[in-house]
Copies of this chain bind each other. A is one copy, B any other.
Amino acid sequence: MNEPTRIGLVGYGYWGPNLARNFHALPDAHLVAVADVDAKRLDEPARLYHARTYADYRDILADPTLDAVAVSTPARTHFEIARAALERGKHVLVEKPLAMSSDEARRLIALAEQKQRVLMVGHTFEHNPAVWKIRELIEQRELGDLYYIYANRVNLGRVQRDINALWSIAPHDISILIYVLGALPLDVSARGATYLSENVEDVVFVTLTFPNHVLAHIHASWLDPSKVRQMTVVGSEKMIVYDDVDAEARLRIYDKGVYKHGSAYGESQLKIHSGDIFIPKIDMTEPLRNECAHFVECVREGKRPRTDGENGLRVVRVLEAAQESLAKNGATITI
């Protein structure tokens, strides 16, 4: 396969332009066609990338020259479009969340398996070198005992009316948490509030229990004055602040911590230390570039993506349970 991989993009709204720009920039890929229900949006990809444009995504699926399809449409349509694309024998990259239920997600996995096609979900942060570094530090036990992790992902903008902040924003943090901890949460609870559209939470607070008493907490909102994308990882010996908005200091590793120190008399004492801060050099390649390149590589070489269908399913399972907790006013739901 020496020709560039031929890609069709379905959905050119908020995120689609980023996918288009990145696929266009990859030497091994060729962005051939773009579909969107809103005709006004199609001028740009036509002009910038000389892409063929369609109002109906089925025209993209019908094109036998296309190898792969990227889906960046509203979340509720992910399943149907990904399903149809797989049916047509296309490799598929679906934006997060993979689907709106674990049942849907499982059906996509099975279909991809049957059709022998790549199914990948766009959990961008698992293609982010800063997140890789956090996982590495945790795995190597650099932080000592892991205590807890909390994430704030808030901004003003991209208010959605069909899915809530849980399904729209929190998938990023859930995917990061599962990735860096290497485990599914045991349970989850969530509370939120609805201000703008009926039954659509604009803000959610999610609490998750992971194995080994690791607690995690996510604050997701599209009603906030500032753009914050921060995650703090607290261990007994070191702590990390990951600030995705800070170009100079993506990760700060604090040589700080408190741990219990057993004494001769059966009583523990606490040792607190507060030392240096270390900001490692992080490769600044755009994570979405990594993601798109990884997808193309998987398509071309028949590899299984890092963020495959199972990966997408795990996130959806947590979202489902959190949604159930929201409906039950914060009751803790076992996963």
Residues of A within 8 A of B (CB): 24-25, 27, 47-48, 50, 145, 147-148, 150, 156-157, 159, 161, 189, 191-193, 195-197, 202-203, 205, 207, 213, 215, 217, 219, 221, 223-227, 232, 234, 236, 239-241, 248-249, 252, 254-260, 268, 270, 272, 274-281, 329-332
Smallest Cβ-Cβ distance to A187: which chain B residue: B329
The docked-state distance in angstroms from the alpha carbon of A131 to that of B221 is 24
B193 touches A147 (CB 8 A): yes
Copies of this chain, count: 4
The 6 lowest CB-CB distance pairs between A and B, nearest first, are A277-B279, A225-B254, A225-B239, A193-B215, A191-B207, A275-B281
20 contacts between A and B (CB under 8 A): A50-B50, A147-B195, A150-B219, A189-B330, A191-B215, A196-B259, A217-B219, A225-B239, A225-B241, A225-B254, A226-B241, A226-B248, A274-B281, A276-B278, A276-B279, A276-B281, A279-B279, A330-B330, A330-B331, A330-B332
CB-defined contacts of A252 to chain B, threshold 8 Å: 225
Given the interface pairs A147-B193, A213-B193, A330-B332, the reply to whether A225 lies near B256 with Cβ below 8 Å is yes
Among A24, A156, A255, the most chain B Cβ lie within 10 Å of the Cβ of: A156
Chain B nearest Cβ from A50, distance in angstroms: 7
Chain B nearest Cβ from A82, distance in angstroms: 28
Chain B nearest Cβ from A190, distance in angstroms: 10
Chain B nearest Cβ from A207, distance in angstroms: 5
Instruction: Say which residue of B156, B224, B241, B254 sits within 8 Å of A272 (CB atoms).
Output: B156
The docked-state distance in angstroms from the alpha carbon of A115 to that of B272 is 44
The docked-state distance in angstroms from the alpha carbon of A207 to that of B276 is 33
Instruction: Say which residue of B196, B207, B248 sits within 8 Å of A258 (CB atoms).
Output: B196
Given the interface pairs A148-B203, A331-B331, the reply to whether A157 lies near B272 with Cβ below 8 Å is yes
A156 touches B258 (CB 8 A): yes
Instruction: Say which residue of B159, B215, B268 sits within 8 Å of A270 (CB atoms).
Output: B159
Smallest Cβ-Cβ distance to A214: which chain B residue: B193
B275 touches A278 (CB 8 A): no
A234 touches B224 (CB 8 A): yes
The docked-state distance in angstroms from the alpha carbon of A148 to that of B281 is 24
A232 touches B225 (CB 8 A): yes
Chain B nearest Cβ from A310, distance in angstroms: 28
Smallest Cβ-Cβ distance to A157: which chain B residue: B272
CB-defined contacts of A156 to chain B, threshold 8 Å: 239, 256-258, 272, 274
Chain B nearest Cβ from A19, distance in angstroms: 16
A277 touches B258 (CB 8 A): no
Chain B nearest Cβ from A126, distance in angstroms: 24
Smallest Cβ-Cβ distance to A216: which chain B residue: B193
B277 touches A248 (CB 8 A): yes
CB-defined contacts of A197 to chain B, threshold 8 Å: 268, 270
Among A219, A232, A249, A270, the most chain B Cβ lie within 10 Å of the Cβ of: A232
Given the interface pairs A195-B147, A330-B330, the reply to whether A159 lies near B258 with Cβ below 8 Å is yes
B270 touches A276 (CB 8 A): no
Instruction: Say which residue of B150, B249, B254, B274 sits within 8 Å of A277 (CB atoms).
Output: B249
Among A248, A277, A281, the most chain B Cβ lie within 10 Å of the Cβ of: A277
Instruction: Say which residue of B147, B192, B205, B260 sits within 8 Å of A205 (CB atoms).
Output: B205
